[in-house]
A and B are shown apart, each in its own frame.
Chain A
Amino acid sequence: MINKQLANAEEAVADVFDGATIMISGFGEAGSPIELIHALIDHGATNLTVINNNTGSGEVGLAALIKAKRVSKMICSYPRTANSTVFPKLYRSGETELELVPQGTLAERIRAGGSGIPAFYTPTSVGTPLGEGKEHRTINGREFVLEYGLTADFSLIKGRLADTHGNVLYNKTARNFGPLMAMAGNVSVIQAEHIVTPGEIDPEVIITPGIFVNRVVEIQKPAVESELIAAGVSYP
């Protein structure tokens, strides 16, 4: 019998190893799996490469993971956000490496990685510093840049509703990178507010089919990052 539900966030990240590559869903606070990230901080894995659009805010969630010096490299499109103070400091001191990727290229690299496509050509970044040093090719008279697919050892993703087969629905613009990272993670973990039995979600509306998901954890009332920051919370 298939049942991908685990008891809690701690169990869901228990086998994350030092040096792992981790995809973390979210665009700013929308879709950030705070409870899974906090469980990862408690777990202690270090020297991580983290793939996320941003670098977190305040001192909770992703920013707390970076502050705890568990992240040796960030792959992201926009590491400069209001309330983002932790990453800039570690970047300037050279403690955390940055690979800057245009947002659409980042999304497509993740989709490609999860789809068995090792690389692809995109017009994005041609003639800019982010295209420098990359393989170029002219196709139908237009110049393109070669970009490589991304995969991860673990993907940590926030959903709204999931079933025990791993089918997932998201909330509004919190969907962002979630479905792509679920495809690209060797072990993809979903935290959802509600986990139901198979059949309760209409197959016509499922966004992430369960084959892409390995673990689901129910987090009934997930923390809201901006509320934690407003309350002055610093994790742990």
Chain B
Amino acid sequence: MTNSPQQVGRTRDEMAIRLAQDIPDGSYVNLGIGIPELIAKYVPEGREFIYHTENGLLGMGPSPESGLGDPELINAGKRQVTAIPGAAYFHHADSFAMIRGGHLDLCVLGALQVSSGGDLANWSTGAPDAIPAVGGAMDLVAGVKSIYVITQHCTKNGEPKLVQACTFPLTGCGIVNRIYTNLAVIEVTAEGFQLIELSPGIDFEYVAERTGAPLLPLKDNTK
């Protein structure tokens, strides 16, 4: 039991592969910074997703080849990207109309904490000397149809990120639908955290012990 909880279960890439399987063909998707970005590498065969980046591009493609980038063609993380055939550029009010107006199907975000009621904290630790910075996170969680969180189940210190109530400043209330971690796939329901699937080799007790709120076991009608 010397492994840290972050080294158990799925790797970051395996988490991204698992989440990508649950995105329907033709979805318009916004991917946050970090593990969410990996999802674009693992689109299941036969499916097409259109990526939205809130700074003003629908149809975002991969990073450009070295030396072929344009400093004015970037993603929300300010990294150079490309535009796929059929892409569109637009200004910020249109971009956030897509977000707030419920036109995007899915947003995948990282998390500091998620509560059993679906509250998300992912923009600030609330440290007094920190420079507060929010970007588009609050708009995304307020407006996109489905919000999936992809995150390590615990912090580096082994503390649960899935909690009864968030202690960090909130990004939004009751907005998270599903959580994909290295240990499990969990749905946020009216009854709280509902286990949907365990990562290979992980048992229920192991996940429940590392979850900061009650975890409902797999239902009989789920595999």
Contact = CB atoms under 8 A, between A and B. Distances in A.
Interface of A: 27-31, 77-82, 87-88, 91-92, 98, 100-108, 110-111, 122-130, 170-180, 207, 224-226
Contact of A175 (B70, B91, B100): B91
Given A30-B71, A88-B131, A172 B89 contact: yes
B72 A103 contact: no
Given A123-B142, A127-B173, A104 B100 contact: yes
Contacts of A100: 132-134
Contact of A128 (B74, B96, B136, B171): B171
The 8 closest A-B pairs by CB, nearest first: A104-B96, A104-B139, A107-B92, A127-B173, A174-B72, A80-B133, A103-B136, A123-B142
Given A103-B54, A124-B142, A130-B134, A177 B78 contact: no
B139 A28 contact: no
B93 A111 contact: yes
B108 interface: no
Contacts of B62: none
A102 B91 contact: no
A177 B92 CA distance: 6
Given A31-B72, A123-B143, A172-B70, A107 B134 contact: no
A78 B91 contact: no
Main secondary structure of the interface of B (DSSP, over half): loop
Given A103-B92, A171-B72, A176-B91, A122 B136 contact: no
Given A103-B54, A172-B72, A77 B170 contact: no
Interface of B: 53-57, 70-74, 78, 83, 89-93, 95-96, 99-100, 119, 124, 129, 131-139, 142-143, 169-173
Which of A30, A92, A108 has its CB near the most chain B CB atoms (within 10 A)? A30
Given A80-B133, A173-B57, A176-B92, A124 B138 contact: yes
